[in-house]
């Protein structure tokens, strides 16, 4: 057999243009599985080997989808590990800390959750905020993968599902009641970290008003030890604000009843709300299969949040926008979060079509300068676009996965399939990076990032959703 030569392409690393070889899909799948195995610790997968050596909430959900392709039981254990950190209120914290690992900042001593709030578990120790509720979406996907595999995988999922369903129900009820007390169909967040898109330009205006108090304890960052190019990471003044808000939340006892009056950062997050709408619909579907009694309640949440998201679309930019609850102003930025309605539905067909056209336009995936037609985190046409700076411009494999998979589920194969292909071309360098410079295709941030590996696996092995 003659060996096919590797596909080569150019990439720019530290100013030098190198020729790198793309790897074959089979090698990418093997490497992704190897990365997930390598990042696996006692009952949890580190979000990244050095940069994020603990379990992050939405990372764990995406990771479980990847794991489901290789070991369904391990995929279930991953989420059990995460739910072990669930608070008595139902809140699912954004980090569950590995007690053996002391090299991450801000760690459990900074959060000091159990010391400030009786609802927080003392073992495992956790952070005091949450992240987008993608878990029911992930479990729905895991169930499909396991059913497809049959045998032990299907049995494992079936046995595990009823317990997981109850924990997710508790989580969803927390979000619906405590994060949308007015019933407006939009979730309120207390920290940019809750959005998962830490330094997105979405949060520039609300962060600009956060006054960092002198009492902020002095600290040493660890993230810039791993990512040597500090300009890719949030700046020092951004970090000060992130940590100051943690102090405010601690002082309010991590109490959802007190935080809205106390926290200087308070916004409604349209992306998180859309994820929540879609996740409620997915959880209702899982519940229906089990004969659960809460199906109507969950479909009710789905409908409420779909409507909240649809009402957030800005007629000028055509994107859904977040609102700063401190000023009442809509946050006018062009980020990936603006496509939130495509994740959950709810727009009139003509408006949805316009949004799809915008996604495919030169302002987004159709921008001719992009290395691959992927979704950058900020529009390349926006003045806020910074192609190397974390959530300010780079393309994130896991976001490409989320949009490709969701659009496929919603029947938009002509949009999802090119996005899936583009995401795979970007990942074909094999580094499984945290994020990519969208113009050059250069891998950035952490390498061997767990959720990038999981996304690669599902994008490659998506035989049931590729028509
Ligand atoms: C990033 O967030 C953490 C803080 O939670 C960080 O910057 O240290 C974000 O990309 C977040 O969405 C992600 O879950 C986390 C781990 O991958 O890293």
Whether residue 374 contacts residue 422, with contact meaning beta carbons closer than 8 Å, is answered with yes
Q: What is the DSSP letter of 391?
A: G
Write the residue with the smallest CA distance to atom 17 of ligand 1: 47
Q: Are 44 and 55 in contact (CB under 8 A)?
A: yes
* Residue (of 368, 449, 345) closest to 401 by Cα position: 449
Per-residue pLDDT tens over the stretch 376-431: 999 999 999 999 999 999 999 999 999 999 999 999 999 999 999 999 999 999 99
C-alpha gyration radius of the chain = 21
Give the relative orientation of helices 151-178 and 135-149 as an angle to the nearest 10 degrees: 170
pTM of the model: 0.95
pLDDT value, residue 357? 98
pLDDT score, position 1? 39
Cα→Cα distances 216→95, 245, 246, 256, Å: 21, 10, 10, 22
Ligand 1: which atom is nearest the Cα of residue 95?
5
Measured in degrees and rounded to the nearest 5, phi and psi for residue 9 equal -155, 170
pLDDT of residue 19: 39
Distance CA 29, CA 64 (A): 15
- Residue 17 has phi, psi (to 5 degrees) of -90, 120
Q: Which residues are marked as active site?
A: 198, 434
Of 264, 252, 253, the C-alpha closest to 213 is: 264
Ligand 1 pocket mutation pick from 50, 126, 194, 198 by most atoms within 8 angstroms of CB: 198
Which residues contact residue 443 at a Cβ distance below 8 angstroms, ignoring those fewer than 6 apart? 11, 429, 431, 433, 436
The predicted structure's pLDDT at residue 465: 65
pLDDT at 466 (0 to 100): 61
Give CA–CA dist 231/203, Å, rounded.
18
Q: What atom of ligand 1 comes closest to residue 233's alpha carbon?
A: 7
- Quote the pLDDT of residue 20: 55
In angstroms, what CA-CA distances link 288 with 56, 234, 283, 304, 345? 29, 43, 8, 19, 20
Measured in Å, residue 98 CA sits from the centre of ligand 1 at: 16
Q: Mind giving me the DSSP string for 169-194?
A: HHHHHHHHHHS-TT--S-EEESSHHH
Expressed in angstroms and rounded, the spacing between residue 6 Cα and the centre of ligand 1 is 33
Mutate to test the pocket of ligand 1, among 52, 226, 336 (most ligand atoms within 8 A of CB): 52
Q: Report how far ligand 1's centroid is from the alpha carbon of 244 (Å).
A: 17
pLDDT at 462: 84
Structure tokens of 451? 């959720």
CB-side neighbour CA atoms (13 Å) of 451: 23
Which ligand 1 atom is the nearest neighbour of the CA of 94?
Answer: 5
- Predicted pLDDT at 232: 86
- Substitution site in 126, 131, 193 for ligand 1 pocket (most atoms within 8 Å of beta carbon): 193
Q: What is the pLDDT of residue 43?
A: 81
Nearest of 318, 317, 305 to residue 270 by alpha carbon: 305
- Tell me the mean pLDDT per 10 residues along the chain, length 467: 42 40 90 97 92 97 97 97 98 97 94 98 98 98 96 98 98 98 98 97 97 93 86 90 97 98 96 99 98 98 98 97 98 98 98 98 98 98 97 98 97 96 96 98 97 97 71
pLDDT value for 286: 98
Ligand 1 contacts (CB < 6 A) are 47, 52, 56, 58-59, 94, 193, 196, 198, 223
| Contact in structure between 302 and 344 (CB atoms under 8 Å) | yes
Give the pLDDT confidence of 67-107 residue by residue, as tens digits.
Answer: 999 999 999 999 999 999 999 999 999 999 999 999 899 99
């Amino acid at each position: 057999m003659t060996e096919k030569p590797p596909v080569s392409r150019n990439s720019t690393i530290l100013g030098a243009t190198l020729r790198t070889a793309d790897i074959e899909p089979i090698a990418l799948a093997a490497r992704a599985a190897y990365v997930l195995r390598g990042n696996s610790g006692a009952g949890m997968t580190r979000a990244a080997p050095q940069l994020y050596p603990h379990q992050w909430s939405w990372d764990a959900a995406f990771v479980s989808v990847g794991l489901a392709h290789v070991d369904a039981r391990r995929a279930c254990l991953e989420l059990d590990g995460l739910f072990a950190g669930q608070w008595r209120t139902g809140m699912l914290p954004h980090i569950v800390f590995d007690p053996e690992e002391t090299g991450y900042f801000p760690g459990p001593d900074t959060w000091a959750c159990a010391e400030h709030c009786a609802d927080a578990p003392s073992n495992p120790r956790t952070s005091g905020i949450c992240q987008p509720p993608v878990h029911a979406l992930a479990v729905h996907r895991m169930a499909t993968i396991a059913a497809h595999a049959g045998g032990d995988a299907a049995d494992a999922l079936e046995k595990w599902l009823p317990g997981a369903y109850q924990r997710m129900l508790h989580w969803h009820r927390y979000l619906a009641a405590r994060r949308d007390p007015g019933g407006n169909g939009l979730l309120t967040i207390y920290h940019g970290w809750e959005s998962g898109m830490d330094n997105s330009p979405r949060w520039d205006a609300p962060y600009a008003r956060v006054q960092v108090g002198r009492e902020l304890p002095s600290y040493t960052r660890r993230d810039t030890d791993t990512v040597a190019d500090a300009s890719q990471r949030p700046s020092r003044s951004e970090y000060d604000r992130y940590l100051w808000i943690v102090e405010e939340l601690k002082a309010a006892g991590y109490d959802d009843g007190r935080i809205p009056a106390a926290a200087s950062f308070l916004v409604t997050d349209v992306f998180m709300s859309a994820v929540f709408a879609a996740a409620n619909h997915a959880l209702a579907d899982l519940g229906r299969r089990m004969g659960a009694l809460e199906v109507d309640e969950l479909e009710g949440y789905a409908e409420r949040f779909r409507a909240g998201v649809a009402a957030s679309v800005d007629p000028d930019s055509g994107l859904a926008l977040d609102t700063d609850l401190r000023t009442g102003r809509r946050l006018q930025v062009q980020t990936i979060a603006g496509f939130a309605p495509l994740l959950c539905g709810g727009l009139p067909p003509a408006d949805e079509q316009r949004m799809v056209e915008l996604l495919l336009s030169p302002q987004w995936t159709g921008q001719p300068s992009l290395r691959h037609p992927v979704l950058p985190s900020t529009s390349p046409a926006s003045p806020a676009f910074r192609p190397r700076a974390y959530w300010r411009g780079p393309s994130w494999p896991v976001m490409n996965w989320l949009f490709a998979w969701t659009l496929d589920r919603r029947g938009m194969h002509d949009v999802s399939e090119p996005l899936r292909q583009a995401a795979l071309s970007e990942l074909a360098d094999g580094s499984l990076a945290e994020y990519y410079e969208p113009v050059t295709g250069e891998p950035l941030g952490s390498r061997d990032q767990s959720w990038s590996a999981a996304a690669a696996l599902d994008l490659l092995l998506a035989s049931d959703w590729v028509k």
